[in-house]
Amino acid sequence: MDLKKFNFTILIEKDEDGLYIASVPALRGCHTQAKTVEELLPRIKEAIELY
């Protein structure tokens, strides 16, 4: 199986409650949140893969 590799820009913001929010502007509706950036990065990777 030949897999393609893509690069996406990920926006990371911290909300007023202290949660980190990651979104992918190129993938409408692709976003997630976590308490730390370390938790956030694997979650947004999974969200991109599921998209």
Q: How far, in Å, CA of 47 to CA of 41, rounded?
A: 10
Q: From the DSSP assignment, how many helices (H) and strands (E) are in the chain?
A: 1, 3
Q: Is the model's pLDDT at 1 over the cut of 80?
A: no
Q: How far, in Å, CA of 6 to CA of 35, rounded?
A: 27
Q: Is the model's pLDDT at 17 over the cut of 80?
A: yes
Q: For tokens 């893969």, name the residue.
A: 49
Instruction: Write the Ramachandran bin of 33: left for phi over 0, alpha for psi from -120 to 50, otherwise beta.
Output: beta
Q: What is the mean pLDDT of residues 13-33?
A: 97
pLDDT tens, residue by residue, 25-35: 999 999 999 99
pLDDT given at position 47: 97
Domain ranges of the chain: 11-50
Residues whose CB falls within 8 Å of the CB of residue 14, separated by 6 or more in sequence, listed in order: 20, 21
